[in-house]
Amino acid sequence: MNERTRLPNRRPHITVPISWWSGDGSEKNYFCTVGLYHDGTPGEIFANGDHEGSQIDGMLSDACILISLALQHKVDPKVLAHSMVRVPGIGDDPLGVATYPASPIGAIVDALVKISGDGNGEGVKKSIRT
């Protein structure tokens, strides 16, 4: 296993909207904040659910911790996205197939793929805030 690469205490970040279509057909909108290494690659992610303290809020927080640890161990966001369950439909799919994430966790990982661009942080360098 790769050695964990910790992020610096002060680091650039970007906040992006994510959308996910729930099982009842309604669109759920969330925001996630991605902490970046100084070269622009993602190293951590935070997201909140509908209401603070709700079950979805807790699940998203836990998932973000696991995703962040994977990123810090150099797991490519595309590998994570490829591992997520996808359902058929017409959606904005960074993997290039006509599917969309089956959960908000998959939508968060899709956002990471978009932010990562070609894998070296090019997807966000113009939008970074410190």
> Is residue 25, in this structure, part of any structural domain at all?
yes
> Is residue 122, in this structure, part of any structural domain at all?
no
List the Cα angle 20/26/31 in 5-degree steps: 35
Domain that holds residue 20: 13-116
Domain count, the chain: 1
pLDDT-derived band at 90, boundaries 50, 70, 90: low
Give the closest residue to 17 by CA, choosing from 115, 119, 120. 115
Give the closest residue to 101 by CA, choosing from 116, 117, 113. 113
Highest mean pLDDT out of 26-30, 95-99, 122-126: 26-30
Cβ atoms within 10 A of the Cβ of 39, count?
10
Q: What is the pLDDT of residue 121?
A: 47
> Is residue 81, in this structure, part of any structural domain at all?
yes
Q: How many angstroms separate the Cα of 51 from the Cα of each of 25, 48, 79, 105?
A: 19, 8, 30, 16
Q: How far is CA 45 from the centre of its chain?
A: 6
Cβ atoms within 10 A of the Cβ of 24, count?
6
> Is residue 128, in this structure, part of any structural domain at all?
no
Q: What is the dihedral of CA 27, 90, 43, 2, to 10 degrees?
A: 130
Residue 31 · residue 107 · CB < 8 Å? no
Average pLDDT over residues 99-112: 89
> Is residue 5, in this structure, part of any structural domain at all?
no
pLDDT higher at 18 or 2: 18
Global pTM value: 0.80
Q: What is the pLDDT of residues 18-73, one digit of tens each?
A: 888 777 778 888 899 999 999 989 999 999 877 788 888 899 999 999 999 999 99
